Structure 1
Amino acid sequence: MDDIALVTFTRVWNNCSVSDIEITQPDFTIQTEKRVVVKAAFPDSADLYYVCVKQKPKENAQGEEIDQHFIKFY
């Protein structure tokens, strides 16, 4: 879990790029190799929220950063 850079909450079940709440790594409450803790406030709503995470960019053999895709949790 220590390679997570972004946690988002979205109401769109099939698109993590459309997020209502974004929490970046500097704002994580706790981050260890086994867990990430974030604090978020949600508006009063009957909507479901889906959690998405994005890893830090990886480096290829040429030293270029490769942006990572979102991973969604249902």
Structure 2
Amino acid sequence: MFGMSELAVILLVVIAVLAAKKLPGLARSAGKSARILKAEARAAQDEGAAPRVIRGEVVTDRAQGDAAPRS
């Protein structure tokens, strides 16, 4: 009656119709995951290189007390 390719197309159409509201969020999440994976793979290759500094939260050492943010 139907081959595997026809069933796959029908399944994709049904998923697109039923989950239309969630597809942009899923695509955004998949894009973020792909970027993170790509960055981690690149970092693993450049392991001998100097580490990159990424600005974000300040990590404090509990033994030394609270540290001021570094600029």
Provide TM-score, normalisation by structure 1: 0.16
Structure holding more helix per residue: 2
**Which gives a bigger RCO, structure 1 or 2 (Cα 8 Å, sep 6+)?**
1
Structure holding more strand per residue: 1
Higher gyration radius (CA): 2
